[in-house]
Amino acid sequence: VGDKVYLMKQGKFPRGIFGRGVIIKNPYQDDGVWSVDIRIDEIVDPQKTLFLHEDILFQMSPERGLWYTNFSGVKIPNDVLEGIKNNKCWKLISSQITAIEPEADSETTYKAWVDQRIGQQQFREQLIRHWGGCAVTGCPIQDVLIASHIVPWKIATPNERLDVYNGLLLTANLDKLFDAFLISFNSKGGILISKSIDAKALSLLGINANMKLRKIESGHLAYLQRHESKFRIMEGKERK
């Protein structure tokens, strides 16, 4: 009694926490099945909005088993518990998660972190709709795809951060190489590979010189040119 309960939507995307409550009575048997009474304190329609998206939970704790019911008996980590029970996560305004007005620097930092995660979740959803799979390989398995910014989040303007043309949906190996400017793509979509990666490493990574983006639209060009420019600057320096 008194334990917090979080309701999580699973299955079809989007997934995440859509409600919370508290246990108000000791467990009891009902027709041979153990039950427990819960007071629901906050709940929304999970088809329309979520308090915390799955991606935010994975950022807080990447252990996927923590968020799936078939992993019975697992415990939510204390740091994650503190994050999701913090009232600042739960104020709902215009179907978006918004923190209550911060009162201290730590709260300001937390609000910025939550806002960034929400923006990244929206960005990912746009890329999934736009690409339908990996922008290079076509791999459709969403669980292994990463929403990669062409111009990185930290230096992009607010509009650029959420612009679908400033993004590529990539498998993890391509994403890490792209993020480190070890690969890039030219204006025709052809892959550019750093000379610092030897043939054996390329083979192990499944990367080859014939790879290219499956499509390019005019909106991609300026972003790709900026990434390629940084890639060539990095190539001109001695890479470690």
Task: Tell me the HSE value of 214 on the side-chain side, using a 13 A CA sphere.
Answer: 13
CA 163 to chain CA centroid, Å, is 16
Q: Is the pLDDT of residue 21 over 50?
A: yes
Determine which of 38-42, 128-132, 198-202 has the lowest per-residue pLDDT on average: 38-42
Q: Which two tokens stand for residue 6?
A: 């979080």
The yes-or-no verdict on residue 100 having pLDDT over 60 is no
Task: Name 188's Cβ contacts closer than 8 Å, sequence gap at least 6.
Answer: 212, 216
pTM over 0.85: no
Q: Please report which confidence band the pLDDT of residue 240 belongs to, taking 50, 70 and 90 as the band edges.
A: low
Collect all residues with Cβ–Cβ distance below 8 Å to 120 and sequence separation of at least 6. 55, 147, 153
The residue among 49 and 98 whose pLDDT is bigger is: 49
Q: Are 201 and 182 a contacting pair, CB within 8 Å?
A: no
- Widest distance between CA atoms in the chain: 73
pLDDT at 4 over 90: no
| pLDDT over 90, % of the chain | 37
* pLDDT score at 81: 66
Most confident of 86-95, 141-150, 175-184: 175-184
